[in-house]
Structure 1
Amino acid sequence: MTNNYATMNIRGYQWPVLKKLLRQRFSELSDEDLVFEAGKETELYTRIERKTGKSQEDVALIIKGMQQAYLQQTTLL
């Protein structure tokens, strides 16, 4: 299994939007599950994996897809 956490780069300014999208997609995630701290992304991904039952790869792909959608939206404004 590869470590996709190392390839993820969440910026703090993106997190409120990404957090909202994750809560919409996974109602089982709580605010506590989605606490973001720079440098502690691994812990965040682990919490999301545990609560959703998704694999490490799935979590990374979901977040990356949400980031791309966010960036596309902001460049259109």
Structure 2
Amino acid sequence: MNIQSYQWSVLKPLLKKRFAELSDDDLKFENGKEQELYVKLVRKTGKSEEDIALIIKGMQKAYLQHSTML
């Protein structure tokens, strides 16, 4: 997973909206601990790690594309 901390402030509420079962603690992001975040998301959502990666990539592309082009 390739997430920057500045991106997480945009992605976190989107994930929380999509998956109501996720808490703020589940979505706590720390640089270098992305794999632990994935494990929490997989466990809480019941989705596979590949599905979570696709969801996050899609959100990055849809919501962050313009900010990365600046």
Same-fold status (TM-score > 0.5) = yes
The answer to whether residue 30 in structure 2 is matched with residue 37 in structure 1 is yes
Query: What TM-score, normalized to structure 1?
Result: 0.83
Unaligned runs of 5+ residues in structure 1 are 1-7
1:3 matched residue in structure 2:
none
Quote how far apart the aligned CAs of 1:16 are: 1.0
After the TM superposition, which segments of 4 or more aligned residues of structure 1 sit over 4 Å from their partners?
A: none
Higher helix share: 2
Query: What TM-score, normalized to structure 2?
Result: 0.91
1:60 matched residue in structure 2:
53
Instruction: Give the RMSD, CA atoms, in angstroms.
Output: 1.6
Q: What is the aligned-residue identity percentage?
A: 70
User: In 1, Cα distance between the equivalents of 2:27 and 2:64?
Assistant: 20
User: In 1, Cα distance between the equivalents of 2:28 and 2:7?
Assistant: 13
User: In 2, Cα distance between the equivalents of 1:40 and 1:34?
Assistant: 12
Unaligned runs of 5+ residues in structure 2 are none
Alignment of 1:1-77 (within 5 A): 8-74=1-67
